[in-house]
Structure 1
């Protein structure tokens, strides 16, 4: 699994590098536009096949994604003087969008229905969402990103009620140093600033820039609302086998068996960002340090396994958590 994520990460890096090279090249020299199309519709899909050997259906989906990405990229970076076949491709892009948007909506609707159906069975929203996404997308970087995005918009658009989370004992972090209240204040500050920024950009720059900035602000607001609601709902949990770490929706969840934990202690000091240390605090204060056994690997948001030696949490009831968790440690 680790090798798979490394290959996937390397492939994504190759796509980004190629896009950056073409962006710089088209600004400096007059390249024919078909070169970019060849690389994104033939070279990169062939590289993907050689690296992963996927089934034909999955490879065709990835080919369509890479080709569409190439066409979209070319529409942005290719100057008018170099566009020979691109006007035709942009016509195809418009037709493809008319087909793909209903397909994407159908997939999202299917996932939403599957989540609703699974929620009725056991009420565990995280497990239902993960099962619905993995059933359609499998276990891949794309599936991880889709799960992360789906969880964000689930909490942004809805307020889940009567949900259950894996674990026997649950510990919250919303009140820690005014964590949730600080998030809510930040949201109201952005809401107050949005119309002022829109008017300022409208009169000092252009109406188009004002609307673009406002749309991006609303999009960002969705993420912030999701984080706030998830802070109120998603707990850190324990049972007799594992520790389940959740912190809003913008941080990677973690499930840690007790045998991988060396010790747990209360802390009062500031913990800086450093390799091998994960900090789950949002706008609160860290008050718990969990020391892991050597060699523990935990997934990040897209599933890449990372060496982790310490996890720091900021919980409302640090003393209660340490007392409950220490029974299972050692």
Structure 2
């Protein structure tokens, strides 16, 4: 019964705005619009203000983020650009030139303020170390639909760790690094170098055929290199940690899992190959390219959250840690 009510509520919430958009489309395709500046202005206001306002009134008492009004406004802008005659788009053009940039800057400023506030909040907790990625995700959950949070947060974090965060991360007593004695940073550095070389060579070759295609491929390759740079630098900024009630496994921003101590069955220091089954995973997304020296077996299934929110189930997980003996000693003390 609750499920039916929820479906009906969503149907009303999203159905009414799109019905209004449909009515406006019919008006834009009618002959009434010809050389009628007042009607063009009215339709533009409806697309950019009235329909988003109706949507806002429908969601204001729900858990849907209020910032989803902006995508509705953008949809109205796209509909107007596509269906309004070119000579009637003067008001839409003004909005694109002045209104949209202001909205974009306002949203980015709001996100930055909220993230900064979240980080300051973490700093006030003696048992918690500020983590930009966690603060960013918490902020995005307040302003974005849940399905968009992890993809958006991942993209922002890539640039943050790649170009903004250059400070050395000091480890606390309950934290453990995993990048110092592994070959992962060197491997990612080699991958970035190969991408740069291949991009240059391919650009020179494809440029003879099409300059536009050459630049598009070069931009995509450069973005890939930036992603690997962000991934590599995030390894040192997001250590594995032992918390009050749980173990937090992290592999930069690429993989993470939260394991309650009560769920842990055994902790073994071992480099032997892991069994190949659906519930045995590696913390590193590089798979067998990176070895492991710790294997944790759980009493029940847990979830490994990867890039862009991709989730995998596991009961056994292997990973590398720089101080395995110290890690095992501390976690066994916690378990006892």
TM-score, reference length from structure 2: 0.65
Contact 1:124 1:165 in 2 (8 A): no
| Aligned: 1:53 with 2:62 | yes
Report the count of equivalent residues: 290
Unpaired runs of 5+ in structure 2? 15-24, 30-49
* 2:225 counterpart (196, 221, 235): 221
| Partner residue, 1:125 | 130
Report the aligned-residue RMSD: 4.7
| Partner residue, 2:253 | 249
SS state at 1:243 partner:
strand
* 1:134 to partner: Cα distance: 3.0
Contact 2:136 2:153 in 1 (8 A): no
| Aligned: 1:285 with 2:291 | yes
* 1:186 to partner: Cα distance: 0.9
Contact 1:129 1:147 in 2 (8 A): yes
- Separation (CA, whole Å) in 1 of partners of 2:156 and 2:179: 23
- Separation (CA, whole Å) in 2 of partners of 1:278 and 1:90: 51
* 1:146 to partner: Cα distance: 4.2
| Partner residue, 1:310 | 316
| Partner residue, 2:273 | 269
| Partner residue, 1:200 | 205
TM-score, reference length from structure 1: 0.66
1:241–1:106 Cα change, 3 Å: closer
Deviations along 1:67-103, one digit per CA (max 9) or x if unpaired, are 525766998xxxxxxx533754973545543323322
1:254–1:72 Cα change, 3 Å: farther
| Partner residue, 1:161 | 167
Comparing both chains, which one has the higher relative contact order based on Cα–Cα distances under 8 Å and sequence gaps of 6 or more? 1
Q: Who wins on radius of gyration, i.e. which is larger? A: 2
- Separation (CA, whole Å) in 1 of partners of 2:85 and 2:326: 63
Deviations along 1:33-70, one digit per CA (max 9) or x if unpaired, are 989xxxxx98xx97xx68x9336xx34x3133145257
* 1:203 to partner: Cα distance: 1.4
* 2:68 counterpart (62, 72, 90): 62
1:298–1:109 Cα change, 3 Å: closer
- Separation (CA, whole Å) in 1 of partners of 2:252 and 2:237: 8
SS state at 1:263 partner:
strand
1:221–1:163 Cα change, 3 Å: same
| Partner residue, 1:99 | 102
Contact 1:202 1:209 in 2 (8 A): yes
| Partner residue, 1:151 | 157
- Separation (CA, whole Å) in 2 of partners of 1:86 and 1:297: 51
| Partner residue, 2:19 | none
Which stretch shifts more, 154-163 or 255-264?
A: 154-163
| Partner residue, 1:85 | 84
1:33–1:235 Cα change, 3 Å: farther
1:70–1:174 Cα change, 3 Å: farther
- Separation (CA, whole Å) in 1 of partners of 2:206 and 2:27: 35
- Separation (CA, whole Å) in 1 of partners of 2:224 and 2:71: 25
| Partner residue, 2:39 | none
1:146–1:53 Cα change, 3 Å: same
* 1:143 to partner: Cα distance: 4.2
SS state at 2:208 partner:
helix
SS state at 1:198 partner:
helix
- Separation (CA, whole Å) in 2 of partners of 1:263 and 1:223: 35
* 1:290 to partner: Cα distance: 1.5
- Separation (CA, whole Å) in 2 of partners of 1:296 and 1:116: 27
